[in-house]
Structure 1
Amino acid sequence: MKNLKPLLAAGLLAATLPGHAQKAAPKTDFHQWAPTPPRGWNSWDCYGPTVTEAEVKANADYMAKNLKSSGWEYVVVDIRWYVGNDTAHGYNEKNPDWNIDEYGRFVPAPNRFPSAAGGKGFKPLADYLHGKGLKFGIHIMRGVPVVAVQRRLPILGTKLTAADIYSKEGQARWLRDMYTVKEGPGAQEYYDSLFKLYASWGLDFVKVDDLSEPYHKPEVAMIRRAIDKTGRKIVFSTSPGETPIAEAKHVAANANMWRTVGDFWDSWEQLKEHFEVCERWAPHIQPGAFPDADMLPLGRLGIRAERGNDRMTRFTRDEQTTLMTLWSIFRSPLMFGGDLPSNDAFTLGLLTNPRVLAVNRSSTHNRQLFRRGDLVAWTADDPATGDKFLALFNAQDQELAPANAAAWASGPLNRQTPSQAADIDITGATKLYLNVRDGGDGTAWDHADWLNPTLSNADGKTLPLNSLPWRSATAGWGQATVGKSVSGAPLLVVGQTAETGIGTHANSIIEYDLPAGYTRFRTTLGLDQAAARQNTGGTIGGLLFTTSPYRPAPADSVRVPVALRELGLPAGARVQDLWTGRQLGPVTGEFAPYVRRHGARLYRISKPK
């Protein structure tokens, strides 16, 4: 336990300062604290669990200079800011250097956040942000620290300890820092003490992880009460999703924003899934309570993130426009994930377009107008003018060949049937494609391992496929990796570790040029242990092709027609392109602009003068 006396002193001092005594829940409705979707920056997509104070300040400085005038204000320090020796591209769960106070409350690691030394906590950093007109946020995990339970640390204001309020039931499988806080004596008091400390730091925003799926209803309510008792306007975000839609009413009554998906990265497959998700959640948008489509993985990502390497977003410019258009007309909170100081002019333009941001801020009756195959239209109203907003999307893909065209198909793989061996004839083939597709329930936790992939000839000579460079490789999440799973761990399937192989994630295609003379290819496709240990997703199918797995590509651009009567507008309506600001003139009968594949258009349509 580090710096115990100054940390304890700071906690006791905070409890006695004016404005920090326990209070009854204020009369003000917390929904008024964030009447429009919050906008900000979060450290997760670029720095994972290792962000430092200097990096937070650099991003805050950029925001204050370049984004504040466009309504961006929150700066959020994501996961494990209390671990002094955490690791990039994953978590240090072997020997974490905990920083925790006398009352079982994590405090910032001073080697990463020097201003927190001496028991000051995050208050100096919050003061720095407030001085720039910005707001300060942190990520926490639901529950009580395992280390606090093990040390039987007391709960402030009670005679109980952390060991009296915990349950192992519901503990997160992906990070075991916390136990569930069970209802009963001491539970509410623990959360009250936690948020009393945060309020003393000057916290404005809290993202609570491992709360949405599965939905931990008692702890959602405890957190709501604890925030209200502080008397401070702390915006409450739950994570990760999908939050059960059956709990929409409860979460909207307790939180300002809640996740509708798992972690979202720069994957077109994940972005495309949002059309269904957003349609499902659109009826639940209301002032101060917003379904959250997750962060914007744009700009420079992966500097020390959990997934992938240092890169600019893998989204094309058309896909980036689609992302910003859908998040805006769905009125999702906007939390940028890239390193702000690394932004280029295009990325900055995405974040500061005043006409597009106005749709996100103040539109109403947001809804999908139609979906015709992969051509999608959304609409919303401008309550100030009576105008209509219209977003058009072309989500068409280059279609994949059917499974019966493959040289081998695994059939469905899941936790019950986690692997399947393949042995195919490649005589005369010059190409080999390893294709993993999702199993029909989306791509959540679709981690796949191609184990011991080997070429052989008629004489018995073998060649590990791993020894050859691939021509191209895609992965729906993270990136395909030789010798490791997509999460960077050993290739582990059904408890067995493979020496050689390729880790990837649906949807994935890995293309190889085959050397001459080889006649057979053997491998085993398996569901990686990282997916098998989860309680959601994790269903895949594998295919092997010796010819292209794609059908001919659709046109680069197609018309997406919308009849004015579908919008309730008369002939002669005026149209403005909101991305460019151009006035397009009156429309009679039907509006049918071209939309690029994977691209989007956003318009304001007004009644004739």
Structure 2
Amino acid sequence: MRHLAALLAAVLAAASIPLALALAVVAPPAHAWENGLARTPPMGWNQWNAFGCNVTDALVRATADRFVATGLRDAGYSYVNIDDCWMTRNRDAAGNLVPDPVKFPAGIRAVADYVHARGLKLGIYSSAGTQTCAGFPASLNNEQRDANLFASWGVDYLKYDNCNNQGVPAQTRYTRMRDAIIATGRPMVYSITEWGQNQPWNWAQPVGNLWRTTGDITDSYGSMLSIYRINVPLAQFAAPGAWNDPDMLEVGNGGMTDTEYRTHFTLWSMMAAPLLIGTDLRTASPSTLAILGNRDVIAIDQDARGVQAREVRSAGGLHVLSRPLAGGDFAVALFNETGSTATITTNPAETGLPGATSYRLFDVWSKAVSTTTGTISASVPAHGTVAFRVTPGTQAGPPPGTSFVSDLPWQASTNGWGPAERDRSNGEQPAGDGRPLSIGGVGYAKGIGAHAASTIDVFLAGRCSTFTADVGVDAETGTNGTVTFSVLGDGTTLTSTGIRRGGQAAQRISVDITGRTTLRLTVGNGGDNINFDHADWANPQITCST
């Protein structure tokens, strides 16, 4: 973590996040709450951004109808979510929340039935406090009563806010409602909306399905950009069923240009964010519907692999993001935050693409198709984003004989901090910032410097027989750091080490990889956290035939 403080200070200064709080992102992601829901980021609608407190039965029903009529339901949007202000100012004599009889004259159950009949799902709102943000009764100390009520109405999604929380620790409050939801027996997506104040990425994976990482978005380019800057460094904490939530979409509300809205929608999709529409779909323009309904962009957001894009370069207001997708494709986005058109260029090595003879580039907005031998480049308008779905062409596999893995092309790589480094230790920031590899006082000229949690995939073409390496925690961490190493062939674990600690000598591993098509090298966090987890694959070699 040599450079982590400086990195976070720079990234988070614009968002006014105290560095002391930001440093908590180094804690490990916990195991996700396996309730079977939100295996891809939730998609739907919420009234708040466009209507505030002005929610009614008629609005919710009309929105459900527009989902069907515009094709948004078939594009993947499924949740019609009611936000604050749906209830009366007081509970009834039995202590239950009461739907406002003017706004919801037939109650919430009738609205849920209407939404369900159209193949959609209903969401509702409360707060982990004594009152909601608008001053209505909320669920602190009434968790089971309210969860039972929501379940009886057929609710499928709960947005749980953070107002008027009485100083009760966030993890305590949000865990109580999780337990209450479980006790109802009704599946509900659970949205933890505590604005990132208590770094929920550190603890919310076993508690909810998504967690807000920031304060509320507003309909401006500046707001969208500041939220992007806070959310994008948190990629390692996202996983199927557990998502970073940079807040709802503002697309169509009028405060940004269509170019900026396309950027908003693209960046959220690259970051595997929930896509919750926040505009009036009854009056949405064709351009708004075209943005929200772009199925090629939605496919990136909803990719089953569930890996949030990493920002592999950010300099001078020009950004490159890369996201590995299921099936071997990648999504690569070139984002220009500046006020002038700029050319942004990247390449397979920077974006983690596997080595290949060529790459097919599909522009997910213009739909243009092109081919490149490596360079990925575009002229990007001010505040704009160009995004490609990249398909690698023929992969030749390793040459015959014995080769260092650090000299070979990689199909894909993920890393806890910074990129996995070739022949250097992991420096946690841009490529090339590491040091010579060293384990237990022994230096190595060749190898891979990784940081838990990490994966590296290498295409073998079924022609290789043996993988060997010396593995351990890099000496630059002293006696700090605990990691595990695993070698997989075509998804099957072939060998795993026990926990390796800082200061220990390297452990030699040798693995039979005969007949395997893909080799995966994996580093885990040793069961505690990822602090100082600089993991070296020293002298990693494979032996292959012709």
What range is the shorter-chain TM-score in? Answer: 0.5 to 0.7
Indicate if the aligned counterparts of 1:391 and 1:603 stay in contact, CA closer than 8 A.
yes
CA distance in structure 1 between the aligned counterparts of 2:278 and 2:138, rounded to whole angstroms: 28
CA apart distance, 1:571: 4.9
Unmatched segments (≥5 aa) in structure 1? 1-27, 84-97, 117-121, 146-171, 182-186, 302-312, 398-554
1:584-603 CA distances to partner (integer Å, 9 max, x unpaired)? 2x213422210001000110
Change (3 A) 1:180 1:68: closer
The corresponding residue for 1:229 is 183
The corresponding residue for 2:301 is 360
Change (3 A) 1:105 1:218: same
CA distance in structure 1 between the aligned counterparts of 2:296 and 2:256, rounded to whole angstroms: 22
CA apart distance, 1:373: 1.8
CA apart distance, 1:212: 12
Count of aligned residue pairs for this structure pair: 356
CA distance in structure 2 between the aligned counterparts of 1:178 and 1:51, rounded to whole angstroms: 17
TM-score by length of 2: 0.62
The corresponding residue for 2:48 is 44
- Select which of 329, 336, 340 maps to 1:387: 329
Amino acid at match of 2:388: Y
Indicate if the aligned counterparts of 1:378 and 1:390 stay in contact, CA closer than 8 A.
yes
- Select which of 126, 137, 140 maps to 2:112: 126
Which gives a bigger RCO, structure 1 or 2 (Cα 8 Å, sep 6+)? 1
1:438-468 CA distances to partner (integer Å, 9 max, x unpaired)? xxxxxxxxxxxxxxxxxxxxxxxxxxxxxxx
The corresponding residue for 1:412 is none
1:137-536, aligned counterparts within 5 Å?
A: 137-144=123-130, 175-177=134-136, 181=140, 187=141, 190-210=142-162, 216-245=170-199, 247-299=200-252, 301=253, 313-362=254-303, 363-365=305-307, 366-384=309-327, 386-397=328-339
CA distance in structure 2 between the aligned counterparts of 1:142 and 1:266, rounded to whole angstroms: 26
Amino acid at match of 1:277: I
CA apart distance, 1:249: 3.5
CA distance in structure 2 between the aligned counterparts of 1:110 and 1:41, rounded to whole angstroms: 23
1:59-70, aligned counterparts within 5 Å?
A: 59-66=63-70, 67-70=72-75
CA distance in structure 1 between the aligned counterparts of 2:312 and 2:198, rounded to whole angstroms: 24
CA distance in structure 2 between the aligned counterparts of 1:178 and 1:370, rounded to whole angstroms: 46
The corresponding residue for 1:602 is 387
Indicate if the aligned counterparts of 1:393 and 1:600 stay in contact, CA closer than 8 A.
yes
The corresponding residue for 1:73 is 78
Indicate if the aligned counterparts of 1:137 and 1:203 stay in contact, CA closer than 8 A.
yes
CA distance in structure 1 between the aligned counterparts of 2:202 and 2:59, rounded to whole angstroms: 38
Secondary structure of 2:203's counterpart equals helix
Secondary structure of 1:242's counterpart equals coil
Indicate if the aligned counterparts of 1:209 and 1:240 stay in contact, CA closer than 8 A.
yes
Does 1:564 pair with 2:348? yes
Unmatched segments (≥5 aa) in structure 2? 1-31, 395-546
The corresponding residue for 2:420 is none
1:218-270 CA distances to partner (integer Å, 9 max, x unpaired)? 1111000000000000111122412433x424211111111111110111111
CA distance in structure 2 between the aligned counterparts of 1:601 and 1:293, rounded to whole angstroms: 21
The corresponding residue for 1:109 is 100
CA distance in structure 2 between the aligned counterparts of 1:355 and 1:220, rounded to whole angstroms: 35
TM-score by length of 1: 0.56
CA distance in structure 1 between the aligned counterparts of 2:263 and 2:92, rounded to whole angstroms: 45
Secondary structure of 1:40's counterpart equals strand
Indicate if the aligned counterparts of 2:248 and 2:275 stay in contact, CA closer than 8 A.
yes
Amino acid at match of 2:280: D
Indicate if the aligned counterparts of 1:99 and 1:109 stay in contact, CA closer than 8 A.
no
The corresponding residue for 2:37 is 33
Secondary structure of 1:106's counterpart equals coil
Identity between Structure 1 and Structure 2 (%) = 31
Indicate if the aligned counterparts of 2:359 and 2:374 stay in contact, CA closer than 8 A.
no
- Select which of 50, 55, 59 maps to 2:59: 55
Change (3 A) 1:194 1:30: farther
Indicate if the aligned counterparts of 1:559 and 1:593 stay in contact, CA closer than 8 A.
yes
Indicate if the aligned counterparts of 1:212 and 1:258 stay in contact, CA closer than 8 A.
no
Amino acid at match of 1:102: A
CA apart distance, 1:178: 5.2
CA distance in structure 2 between the aligned counterparts of 1:237 and 1:243, rounded to whole angstroms: 15
Secondary structure of 2:388's counterpart equals strand
Secondary structure of 1:108's counterpart equals coil
CA distance in structure 1 between the aligned counterparts of 2:282 and 2:267, rounded to whole angstroms: 25
The corresponding residue for 2:366 is 580
Amino acid at match of 2:143: Y
CA apart distance, 1:37: 0.5
Indicate if the aligned counterparts of 2:344 and 2:378 stay in contact, CA closer than 8 A.
yes
Secondary structure of 1:355's counterpart equals helix
Indicate if the aligned counterparts of 1:243 and 1:259 stay in contact, CA closer than 8 A.
no
CA distance in structure 2 between the aligned counterparts of 1:242 and 1:249, rounded to whole angstroms: 10
Q: Select the structure of larger CA radius of gyration.
A: 1
CA apart distance, 1:104: 2.5
Secondary structure of 2:291's counterpart equals helix
CA distance in structure 2 between the aligned counterparts of 1:75 and 1:571, rounded to whole angstroms: 46
Secondary structure of 2:147's counterpart equals helix
Secondary structure of 2:85's counterpart equals coil
CA apart distance, 1:82: 1.1
Indicate if the aligned counterparts of 1:76 and 1:205 stay in contact, CA closer than 8 A.
yes
Amino acid at match of 1:348: L
Change (3 A) 1:370 1:571: farther
1:97-136 CA distances to partner (integer Å, 9 max, x unpaired)? x2522232321111111112xxxxx111101111111101
CA distance in structure 2 between the aligned counterparts of 1:64 and 1:240, rounded to whole angstroms: 32
Secondary structure of 2:249's counterpart equals coil
CA apart distance, 1:579: 1.5
CA distance in structure 2 between the aligned counterparts of 1:212 and 1:381, rounded to whole angstroms: 40
CA distance in structure 2 between the aligned counterparts of 1:42 and 1:323, rounded to whole angstroms: 17
The corresponding residue for 1:164 is none
Amino acid at match of 1:258: W
Secondary structure of 1:342's counterpart equals coil
Amino acid at match of 1:608: G
